[in-house]
Amino acid sequence: MGVFDRMCKEGANCRLPLSHFENTIIFNRHPNTRRILGHQLTTRQDEMIKAGRLDRRYNGIVECFSRTIKNEGVMSLWRGNTANVIRYFPTQALNFAFRDTYKSMFAFKKERDGYWKWMAGNLASGGAAGATSLLFVYSLDYARTRLANDAKSASKGGERQFNGLVDVYRKTLASDGIAGLYRGFGPSVLGIIVYRGLYFGMYDSIKPVLLVGPLEGNFLASFLLGWGVTTGAGIASYPLDTIRRRMMMTSGEAVKYKSSFDAARQIMAAEGIRSFFKGAGANILRGVAGAGVLSIYDQVQLLMFGKAYKGGSG
C-alpha cells in the first residue's frame, strides 16, 4: 500500500484526479499492441470475398497468418499499422483525460449515494469518455481497417485497392465524400460506450470491492482483474464491432448497407449469429494488452506522481 493510500484510508474522498497533462504523459509511453491482423482478416473475410479480394475463407487465425505470409510476405502483417500508430496516442490520451473530466460530472460517492448509483456513474463516465474521443480519431480507424483488410486481389492479378494511408482518404473522399470516412460511426459510438463503459466502469467499481487487504496494490491481482474486465467488455461489444467494420468495408463499393440494423439483419440471415463473433479468440488475446494498460496505469501514477489510483469516484 502506498503512502497516499494510507493517508486517504480514513477520508471520504481519497481520489485526487490527475490532470490532462499527467494522463497524456502516461499514455504517450504505452506501446501500440492492441490490434491483431488475424482478427481483422478473419472478421471481414466475407466482405472481402464479395469484393473479389479473397478467393476462399480462412480456416482460423493460424491459417490466416500462414496464408497471408505466403501470398503477401511478412511485412503485410503490419499493413495499416501507420494509421494505427498515429491514431493510438490521441485515442489513449483522450480516453483517459476525458475519463477524469466525466468522472467529476458523475461525482457519486459509494457511501453517500449507494453502490449501484456509484457504479452507474462509473459506467457513464467511462462510456462518455470513449465516445467523445472517437469523434476525433474515427477516420484514422477507418483508414487502418481498410489498409489491414486490403489483401492482394484474387481476381485482379494481385493488385491492391489502396497504395497507402493518403490513398485511402483520397479514394474514399472521391467515391463517397466525408460520409465514407464515417461509415459505421453509429454502431461504433454504441460499441465504444458499451466497451469503454465496462472497461473503465467495471474496473473502477469492482477493484475497491475485490482488491482489498493483501490483494490491494498487488500487480498480478490487478492484471487478472483487468484481463477479466477487458475480455468481458470485448465479447459484449463484439457484435457491434463486427457490424461497424462490415459497414466500413462497403465504402467505395456499389452495394452498401442501408443502416446498422440492415447490416445486422443481412449478416444474421446470410451467415448466422456465429458470424458476429468471428475473430473473438484473437480479441481475447488482445485483451492482455488492455489489462496491462489498466494495471500499469495504477503503478505509474504511484511512481511518477506519488498518487495511487483509487477506483471509483469515492
**Does residue 78 form part of some domain?**
yes
Does 34 fall in a domain? yes
Closest CA to 227 of 168, 290, 283, 182: 290
- What CATH number is given to the structural domain containing 51? 1.50.40.10
Q: For the chain (length 314 residues), average pLDDT per consecutive 10?
A: 33 40 41 45 61 68 79 80 83 79 83 83 78 88 87 66 91 93 90 78 80 80 82 88 90 83 93 88 74 73 64 43
Q: Is residue 313 part of a domain?
A: no
Q: Is residue 311 part of a domain?
A: no
CA angle 165, 169, 170 (to 5 degrees): 110
d(CA 158, CA 146): 16
> Containing domain of residue 90, as a range?
3-305
Per-residue pLDDT at 251: 85
- Cα–Cα dist 100/17, whole Å: 6
Give me Rg for the CA atoms of the chain.
21
What does the block give as the cell for 116? 449501484
- Give, for 213, the enclosing helix (H) or strand (E): none
The answer as to whether 49 is a domain residue is yes
Give a yes or no: residue 238 inside a domain.
Answer: yes
Cell triple for residue 114? Answer: 449507494
Task: Classify residue 208: in a domain, yes or no.
Answer: yes
Per-residue confidence (pLDDT) for residue 10, from 0 to 100: 35
Q: Decide if 312 contacts 208 (C-beta within 8 A).
A: yes
**Lookup result for grid cell 461525482:** 107
Report d(CA 267, CA 173) in Å as an integer: 26
What backbone torsions phi and psi does residue 237 show, to the nearest 5 degrees? -100, 0
Split into its structural domains, the chain has a count of: 1
Q: What is the model's pLDDT at position 181? A: 93
Q: How far apart are CA 146 and CA 166, in angstroms?
A: 12
> What's the whole-model pTM score?
0.65
- Which of 204, 260, 246 shows the shortest CA–CA distance to 229? 204
Contact (Cβ atoms closer than 8 angstroms) between residue 83 and residue 149:
no
Q: Collapsing DSSP states into helix, strand and coil, what is residue 2? A: coil
**CA distance linking residue 257 with residue 271, whole number of Å:** 15
Name the DSSP letter for residue 30: S
| Residue 314 covered by a domain | no
- The secondary structure element, H or E, covering residue 1 is none
